[in-house]
Structures are given as C-alpha cells and as structure tokens.
Structure 1
C-alpha cells in the first residue's frame, strides 16, 4: 500500500460524522418531483489531510465531496438535470435503485456518455425506501477516486421513530507528499491486478476528524456507506451496541452487530440503530481492518433526552415492494466464475472474441475474467431471460483477492456460502466474496432492459471483471 510521509500514524484516518441537516453535507430536500434538481460534475477543493490543512483538487457533484444528499419520497420520480463540466465524458448511475433501464447511467450500455459541456436528464423513480447513492459509470475507477459520488436517501412513507438521521460516507484516498490526490498513480496495473486502488487516508463525508455532539439517550439512525474504490472496511462501534436495520437499502429482521464490528465492502450500505447511553460520554468509531484507529467520535453531552412516551424497544423498517417469491426449481441457473489477478491460476482468457495469453492480456490492461472472458459492454450477454423468471447464480471466487459483485437494476437474495445456508435472510445489490469462496444468489428478473454485472472493486471491473445480462 502506498504511504505518505506525515504524522507517525501508519495509516492516517480522517473522518466526520455529520447529520444531513448540517452544512458539511449539502442537502436537497425534495417535497415533490415537479421541479428538476440540478447536479453539475466539476472540479472542486477539499481538505482531505487535516482540518484547515492543504486543499486538494477533487472532482465533485456541485464541486463538493460527497455531492449533495438527495432526498425523495418512496414511489416518487426525481428529475435530475446533469451537466458535465469535467474534461472527460461522464454519467450518473443510481446505485441500488431498481430504476427504468434508460436512466441507469452506464456509458456504452444504457446511454451514450455525457460529453464535456453537455447535459442529460435522468428520471429516477424509486420503488424502495432506503439508503442509496449515485456515482459515474464512465472511467469510474478514476472519477470516483477523485471524489465524484453522492448519497440518495429514499424516505419511508411514514416517519421512522428515531431522534436523528445521520449519514456516514466512508472513502479512502491516495494522497501524495503535497497532500494532493496522487493522479500519477491512477491506472497502475499493479493496483488493477491486486486488491485495487487502496488509499492512505480515510475520510467520512469528505471531512477531517470531527467530534460530533449528540444528546444522551438519543436514538440514531446511522446510514453507513462505503464509497471507496476497493477497500473493505471493518468499523467498530465500541460501547454503542448497534442494531442492523437494513442492508443495501433493503430492511432486515433487526439483529445486533457481532462484537460491535461492521464489515462493509465497496458499494455496500448498512442502516444501523444506535441508542445512545443515557449519560454523558465519548464513544469512538474505529476502522480495525488493519491497525485500529479512531475514525470519529460521538460525544454525548448535556441533559438526557426527555420523552413523553418510550420508543419501541426494537425498530423495524417497513418492507419494500420487492419480488421475493423465488421459483428455485424452475430457475435459470447461471454460473459466474471469477479468475485472474496476481498469484491467480488464469493462463488465458477471451478478449474481444480472441483467446489471449496472460502477457497479451496484461499489455491490454485486462487481468481478470468472468467465465473466461475479460469482459466489456461489447461482449455477448452473460445470459438473457424472460421477464419474471427467477435466476439462480452460483458465484465462485477462484482468485486470491476479495470481490464485491454488484448487479444493476435488481436486488438478490443471498442463499448460501460454501454450500451452507446463510444465517439470516439478506436481500442485497452487492455481495462480498472472499478468496476461494462460493456464494449462491437468486433474484426475480422483473426489471426489463440491459443490466450491468461487475466487481465493485473498480480497478477489477476496468481490468475485465464485468459483463451484462438482458431481461426481455
């Protein structure tokens, strides 16, 4: 992992925990969809190294990182006028939204890329309430590493019984000695063939470390997102006893986090309920996947919150209108074999319809494959299926690296890991697979169109770990 010369901490973690109503994360509150929302991708500045420190050149929606928190109501349609003021084409993909295919935002598959100076109008209809996000799907390995992403919150039709709704957007950055984004290292084949682009600085909501003041006894809804290019995070909420409410926007039967640690892969989201203790105190959130470091702290101050009536002991989010009746006996079975990467066993793969050896693949920047194909949008579909059919997909990670597999336009049920049924029912849009692991998923193909399927370690996607499927 690349490091910067700086404070003695081997991996400097910087973060901020910010309520969406606070100025650190601009909020666009949407009472209706009649007036379009404007989003502009353009250069900006952010203090990523330390508060008040050097300003880094970033790319952001409306010039900020993250971009504005967009809020809409379940079932509504949000109109977004996107303008591209970058020096390369871009799009917006609405991650996790079971959207109309024409507005999924995948350059080369669902739309042409939006050229510099051009605009595109997205119509985002959100059937599900939950925590989602938006980011580009053109050169995403570069544009997201520069800061181009934001949060989309779809609010339940009825208010949820919490005192405060907080957003925590985790990202890691690779900064050089000048505390700027290390642009020279973008596109390095070493990163693409290994774990992906791992940074040397961690931020939350694009901000340096922040002591967030809360009220003793408050009930928090904490929306945690991992927007990093490739880093799998392990977050410890010591002394806070978090309860999981939703994964990737889909409610689950509430359960406590084991050891108060949340593992969250790139692109995944998790909604947590935290009941703050009734007395004053300081509670640190740490990232513990390597050495433990404080990411932020919740500082409970003042008089405990006064209630006229107690909150329900356990908060359950209302279900979403997801097709959950899986016809596993009559399902279309589609195998997905992941191969390649450093120390892998892949000796050759198909590239643009021709079989190539590893040397030729490396020269082309393609070192990963799905089912023996170093993929692109120009390859044949992984599969086609009729509308409404169940698809059953065993995923095999025959590599030395973890992969976060993401399906567009659908949520899927995780059925098993290494042949054993999963402990709890999980409906996700992104599933983390460990090296050597076999994970089986299934979903109802109920959203017509051409949909991307890829690893959300973005360098792996760019280097061949991508395909698409069609629902007709």
Structure 2
C-alpha cells in the first residue's frame, strides 16, 4: 500500500525550491583511455503507452527504447550510436552525461522513418539522460527520456544502485497525455517514478543505497525528500562528483534534466514516503520499504568517501577569462523548428580558455538555462570563488542574474537551451562556438 497524505506539506516553499537550487546547485570530448572499448547501440524512437491512472486505458506517449529502461555503460566506452525514428516528427538526439554530436548543429535531425548513426563517448562517469525533446513541443504525445549510467572506474561500492527517474504528465479528461508547449490548464497532473505511479522500492535494513534522482519532467523545477530519513548525503550533481554534503532539510532540488546522486543508509523503520514538491504542492511519489530480509549489518557504515574525480579542472583562471553577457529574454533566441545555425553565436572562445557567462533572466517567469557540452561552476557573488560542485543546468528566478564559469575543453559548436518553467512555454535555442 502507498502512503497517503491528508494535507500538503509546507516543508518547502516555491522560493525555497528555486532559490535553494540557485544557491546550491560539435562535442566536448574529454580525453579517453587509448584502449577504449567500442560497441554498437541502437535506440528506437517509437510510440508507446503508459498507465497513468486507474480506471482509464494507458495513455499514448513517445519513448526512446534501447532494450532496457537504463542505458548502462563503462567509463571510456565509445559507441556507434544508431537512432531509428519511428515517430511522425523529426528526431534530434540530445544527451547529458554522454558526449555526442551537437543536435541541429553537427548532428542532423532524422525525419519520420529515417535513421542516423553517430559516434558518442562515455568519457566521464555519472548519471545522465538521453532525450528527443528538442523537437517535441506541441507534438501529438509527450516524449519520455532514457536514463544513462556510466559506472566509475574503479567501481564505487554500494549495496544497491537505483535510478529514480521522475516524470510529469498532463492528462486530459479522456486520459490522453498532453505534450509540452501546448495549453494544459485544465489537465490533471500526474508524476511517475521509473514509469510507475507511486511505486515501492524494497530495500534491506542497514543497506547503503545509491539513489540516482533524475528530473525527467518537461518544465518543472522540483524538490525531492525522503520523509523520516535522518540523512541523505549528496555525492554528485548533474553527473559530476561533488564534495559530499548532507542535503539541506533532507531535500534535493532539481531543474528539468537535473540529476543528483545521494547515498542513504536504509533504517530498520519503514516505510519511508518519498515526497515531491513543485513549488505549489507536496505529494508522495513512492515509498522506500523493507525487503523482509535480515538487516545487512548491525553497525552503520562510516560516511562515504567522495566519488572518483572525473578529470575536470581543480581551478579556473577567472582573471583572464573570456566574458560574455547572455540575456534570457527571448530576443535573440529561436524555437528549435526556427533555429538557424547561420545566426551569430552567443559567444566565442578558444579551447583551453576559461569562460565566464553572466546569465540574466530578464523575463517575468522563472527560467531554466542548459549549457550543452560543458559542465560549469556556479560563481559566488563577487566572482571570488565557486560552489563545490559542477552543473550543466541552472534555474533563475525572474530578474535574477547568475554567473557561471567553465574551461572550454574542445573545439566545436554547442547549443544553449532556455525555457520558462510553465508547461506551455516554448523551448528556445542559441548556440556558441569553441574554436
């Protein structure tokens, strides 16, 4: 049975969700080992269905199938990645945590019934995501993403390693799911975990568990909390190792496409409700339950060591950085169907240089910015330091400016995405160049 809440929890306000995240939270090819293993992976974009409510038939959706719900790879693997497009719209493959050709710039879209093969690399360990949503606004059905796990080398020890992919759906009265970019004001909001509504995850008491939280929602910034759990230790954010720290108030905040890996030690007292807050309501989305097996250990383990480094620089040269201002105002942005790579880039820099971007949200809505190809640091207010983790996505409240920095790793052209956190808001694109 699932835990039911009689009242919405007030443990996190909308400002806390967004402000807490902002305060907390061609292709970049990091150098691979000379003997990197090469393999072939075929993904199929195809119509599927998912059961989203009782008493109604499963809702049609579009999915990205690769043989399992998680694409799991060894660090250093090189892929010949084939996409077969079984959808009625063009498909462009975007990735987080996997280095692949820049969609719409280097990688062309595949038309309905078409296919393409590109080379991709699992150059860094971590939790990632593949999706076809760049061209999915206003489509006949919402598009589901595919989770990626690239394992560390040497392996990181945990008793369980579980992907926790959270998705949101808007259902019309007939049970049909609405794609983003369209009006869904009267639609019912449903959240799923790994494609199920309020599932149980059975764990052994005393087990150390790695939970890979992924925000697969279309537009929403969310906070996730395991109720009644003493400690959730954050180990990685957006696929990159972080200096381990305890999640503030036990909650992790995730923008669309964001990922956070936490380690927990499963207590003997359960079930533990997993709660989601989207800035308006708190609701249960699943539970951690006991497996019924004897406790795995009587004495708690010591706090986990930091995850192995992923090859990102320890320091950034901010004094000699290339600097650019980018307004998230829609003026120089285009929707994906109107995107033109012949337009002037948002900025240009040489490979190896440090780049500092001032992202200014000049709109009246909370806006999310996603930088393809480059993990970045969130800078302190005076540009005299940075937060102890890397990001690839950032949520900015209306009127807010944040500064980010990264070291340009390789020559190429890359996308920048921007979108407001409203279901009907369009996805917008610009591009930048590393020469």
For 2:281 and 2:427, locate their aligned partners in 1 and report how far apart those are by CA, in whole Å: 32
Give the unaligned 5+ runs of structure 1: 1-6, 12-31, 341-348, 353-364, 367-373
Contact 2:379 2:403 (C-alpha < 8 Å) held by counterparts:
yes
Question: Any conservation in 2 of the 1:175–1:200 contact (CA below 8 Å)?
Answer: yes
- In 2, distance between residues paired with 1:147 and 1:84? 13
1:46 correspondence with 2:50? yes
Q: 1:263 aligns with which of 249, 253, 259?
A: 253
What is residue 327 of structure 1 aligned with on the other side? 317
Aligned-pair RMSD on alpha carbons? 3.3
> Following TM superposition, by how much is the alpha carbon of 1:78 offset from its aligned partner in structure 2, in angstroms?
2.2
Alpha-carbon distance in 1 for matches of 2:332, 2:147: 37
**Cα displacement string for residues 105-134 of structure 1 (whole angstroms, at most 9, x for unaligned residues):** x12x12221112221113221221000010
| 1:306-363 residue CA offsets vs partner (Å, 9 max, x unmatched) | 35997442232111011343111111110112226xxxxxxxx4689xxxxxxxxxxx
CA distance in 1: counterparts of 2:204 and 2:317, whole angstroms: 48
User: Taking structure 1 as reference, are residues 308 and 43 closer, same or farther at Cα in structure 2, changes over 3 Å only?
Assistant: same
Whether the aligned pair in 2 keeps the contact of 1:226 and 1:265 (CA below 8 Å) is yes
Q: Distance in 2 between matches of 1:177 and 1:284?
A: 28
Q: Which residue of 1 aligns with 2:119?
A: 123
- Secondary structure class of the residue paired with 1:259: helix
2:65 paired with 1:62: yes
CA contact (8 A) 1:41 1:63 kept: no
Question: 1: CA distance between counterparts of 2:140 and 2:410?
Answer: 27
Task: Tell me, in whole angstroms, the C-alpha distance in 2 between the residues paired with 1:198 and 1:377.
Answer: 36
Q: Which runs of 5+ in 2 are unaligned?
A: 9-35
User: Match of 1:428?
Assistant: 391
Q: Are residues 1:451 and 2:414 paired?
A: yes
1:166-181 maps to which residues of 2 (within 5 A)? 166-181=162-177
Counterpart residue number, 2:87:
86
- Describe the shift of the 1:400–1:443 C-alpha distance in structure 2 as closer, same or farther (beyond 3 A): same
Q: Is the 8 A contact 2:378 2:387 kept in 1?
A: no
The number of residue pairs the alignment matches comes to: 402
**1:219 correspondence with 2:190:** no
Structure-2 separation of matches of 1:407 and 1:38: 26
Deviations 1:114-168, CA, capped at 9 Å, x for gaps? 1122211132212210000101154133469613310111000122121001111
Change (3 A) 1:170 1:177: same
Question: Does the CA-based 8 Å contact 1:406-1:456 persist in structure 2?
Answer: no
| Whole-angstrom distance in 1 between the partners of 2:213 and 2:332 | 38
Is 1:416 equivalent to 2:417 in the alignment?
no
Q: Which residue of 2 aligns with 1:284?
A: 273
Q: Give the 3 Å change call, closer, same or farther, for CA 415–199 of structure 1 in structure 2.
A: farther
CA contact (8 A) 2:365 2:421 kept: no
Q: Distance in 2 between matches of 1:435 and 1:395?
A: 12
Query: What TM-score comes out, normalization by structure 1 length?
Result: 0.77
Residue aligned with 2:271, SS: strand
Contact 2:358–2:403 at 8 Å: present in 1 too? yes
Distance 1:227 1:262, change over 3 A: same
